Chains A and B, each alone.
Chain A
Amino acid sequence: MSDFTFLASAGEPVSRTPLYVLLVYMGLLLALGVLSSRFFRGTSKDYFVASQSIGSFMLLMSVFGTTMTGFALVGSSGKAFSQGIGTYGLMASWSGLIHSAVFFAIGIKLWSFGKKYGYVTQIQFFRDRFDSKQLGYLLFPILVLLIIPYLLVGLISVMKVVQPITSGMFPDTFALPDKVLPNGKSIPHPLSGGVPGWLSGLVVSTVVLFYVFFGGVRSAVWANTFQTVVFMITGIVAFYMIADKLGGVASAADVVKNHAPEKLIREGSIGDWHFFSYLLIPLSVGMFPHLFQHWLTAKNAKSFRLTVIAHPICIAIVWVPCILIGIWAAGLYAAGDLRIPPLPGGGPNANAALATMVRTLVENPLLSGLLMSGILAAIMSSLDSQFVCLGTMFTNDVVVAAMGKDKYSDRQLIFLSRAFIVGIVLVSYFMALYLQGSSVFSLGVWCFSGFAALFPLVFAAVYWKRASLGGAVGCILATLFSWCYFFYQDIFLDAGAGHGEYLVQGVMPVTFVFLASSAGMILGSLLTEPPSRETLKKFFPTLS
């Protein structure tokens, strides 16, 4: 045992104030949705890309808020709990370098094409660049299938965060049976009396649905800005309060050094090439359809500057405290001073590390509620963009593409988009209920791997004149088959069991998926007809 003990929880009266704070926060979001809808101009262009009116600060906040989801807060602290400080190097510092590089080298160019030719989705760009309407029908279901795990990461994170923080608040309504330990002794279930996942997921889905329903991407940008500010501030406050409760940051670090020293280093937990191969994961931002849509909301290219420069710092502000909280939780757990809700197999549920630390160490119920709101803010600021984006893609890339531009009025297009969003929310919600026990980090990594593997498609489209339709199809099919193969190996055959993470020849599977998709693009392009002169003139103009 260390000098700290945070085991007492079950059986004590628990204040419901944190939950009331969260409900007030949800009310504020609903009000923001109503307010932003007053600025809605009633056109489909305003619904889909906010009439390209978003300035530097809101672009930074919306892009950053969109890329930081439950994965960043719940997943990072959980991964640090189990694998130590190397988690930061795996994801956060690579993202600082690669995300901004993609914004700078790809994002600004795609924005310029969107501005020039009036695109609102990336599929519209790819159809024109590769001169094929059919390409959109091939790409659409793949992008939707890849984005659904991303939605699930958010919803599952909500379910995993709210229940531990609210445990004990409703001892009769949401009672859970006692846990039986391997030695036969019974203990109260650590989650008993907490708001169950089905309810928290339902409330969050409904709130997000409400504000994107009325204002489209403008509401998502406004809400993202507000929520990103909230989760960055509350993250810092949470860090300060938890450190204070542990006797200061130095005392907290001592607990780790004494009881879980392996969390302070990378040696032994992450291999050299494993660490290196994570560089491919952040390339996914180049192919996220929801990020493409946010890029197109920019008022002008200069609006990107703040995003490109400040993004790495913003990542550090969020990730460093999360990693420290994760390893402190590991130290306390190893010392026997912290009870983490168990997985069905008996081991600690790493994803619950952050929520458990907030629940047990932040004693002020008002602040505890604010912190819970901050965590949910990070999650919802991604969910909203993804919902809007899927509605936009369905309307423009499927309905308009199939039926023609003049078949529907603006109002009908917005209605179609909203109807599809409702359908996707329902599907995601029920899938999240079914997959509640999944690892947020693993699910996120598989989603990012798929998008990262498609990066050669957008890179070649923008920089390689010889990239042709054959190359685009080769790239997409190679990604589809190789991604499915490795996903099946990991998820269904459990090929990574016992190793902590599924690796192939010591590197992330995304390495091989990426190589396959690159080969598909290069070979497919070289073996088929090059793009027409008109296409090259349109997308590779001489700038003077």
Chain B
Amino acid sequence: MIDTQSSSGSKLVWVFFLLLFFAHQDFWLWSDDSLVLGFLPMGLAYHALFSVACSCLWAFACFRSWPEKLEQWADEAVDPDDNRSAS
């Protein structure tokens, strides 16, 4: 499907996505057994923050590259030429 809108926003979303993708591996923390706030293992604290960062990324995506035109297209009546079905 061709979606022409907010291309700069979309590119930024996928750049941030790739950054998080690589940040997930966090090899520098693999043997760190220190406790954050006295109870949370470092590796777990890092990945809990990672989850928060994911939410921020998708919030950014929803507000910068939301597929408005796709929604409009879905709400339009079906073109009779497209109404044939294999099911």
Contacts and interface: CB of A to CB of B under 8 A. Distances in A.
B50 A109 contact: no
Interface residues of B, number: 53
Interface in A85-115: 85-86, 88-89, 92-94, 96-97, 100-101, 104, 108-109, 111-113, 115
A123 B42 CA distance: 44
B58 A128 contact: no
B48 A316 contact: yes
A365 interface: no
A310 interface: yes
B25 interface: yes
A527 interface: no
B32 to A, nearest CB: 7
Contacts of A128: 85-87
B15 to A, nearest CB: 13
B87 A96 contact: no
Interface string B44-87: 10011011101101110110001101111111101001101111
Given A89-B24, A253-B38, A543-B1, A108 B70 contact: yes
Contacts of A276: 25
A485 to B, nearest CB: 29
How many chain A residues sit at the interface, stated as a range, is: 35 or more
A86 B71 CA distance: 39
A257 B52 CA distance: 26
A265 B47 CA distance: 12
Given A301-B71, A316-B48, A96 B17 contact: no
Given A88-B44, A96-B54, A312-B51, A265 B78 contact: no
A267 interface: yes
Given A276-B25, A316-B48, A543 B69 contact: yes
A266 B52 contact: no
B9 interface: no
B39 A265 contact: no
Contact of A127 (B41, B61, B71, B86): B86
A101 B61 CA distance: 10
Contacts of A127: 85-87
Chain A CB within 10 A, most for which of B47, B75, B87: B87
Nearest to A273: B25
A142 to B, nearest CB: 17
A41 interface: no
Contacts of B3: 543
Contact of B24 (A93, A248, A462): A93
A92 B51 contact: yes
A266 B30 contact: yes
Nearest to A87: B44
B87 A89 contact: no
A265 B70 contact: no
B35 A253 contact: yes
A383 B61 CA distance: 31
B87 A100 contact: no
Nearest to B73: A543
A279 B21 CA distance: 9
A264 B33 contact: yes
Nearest to A538: B82
B51 A117 contact: no
A116 B55 contact: no
Contacts of B5: 543
Nearest to B34: A264
Interface stretch (A13-21, A131-139, A225-233, A510-518): A131-139
Contacts of A117: 78, 82, 85
A261 interface: yes
B4 interface: yes
B12 interface: no
Contacts of A86: 43
Contacts of A540: 1-2
Contacts of A351: none
B8 interface: no
B69 A544 contact: yes
Interface in A115-174: 115-117, 123-124, 127-128, 130-133, 135-136
A9 interface: no
A22 interface: no
B86 A132 contact: yes
A471 to B, nearest CB: 16
Given A88-B48, A312-B51, A463-B1, 15 more contacts: A86-B43, A92-B47, A100-B55, A100-B57, A101-B17, A128-B86, A253-B41, A264-B33, A265-B33, A267-B30, A313-B55, A324-B39, A401-B87, A540-B2, A543-B5
Interface of B: 1-5, 17, 20-21, 24-27, 30-33, 35, 38-44, 47-48, 50-52, 54-55, 57-59, 61-62, 66-67, 69-76, 78, 81-82, 84-87
21 contacts: A86-B43, A96-B50, A97-B17, A104-B62, A109-B70, A117-B82, A124-B85, A127-B85, A266-B30, A301-B67, A302-B71, A308-B62, A309-B55, A309-B59, A312-B58, A320-B48, A324-B40, A400-B87, A540-B1, A541-B73, A543-B2
Top-4 shortest CB links A-B: A112-B74, A249-B39, A312-B54, A316-B51
Interface of A: 85-86, 88-89, 92-94, 96-97, 100-101, 104, 108-109, 111-113, 115-117, 123-124, 127-128, 130-133, 135-136, 248-250, 252-253, 257, 261, 264-267, 272, 275-276, 279, 300-302, 305, 308-313, 315-316, 320, 323-324, 327, 396-397, 400-401, 462-463, 534, 537-544
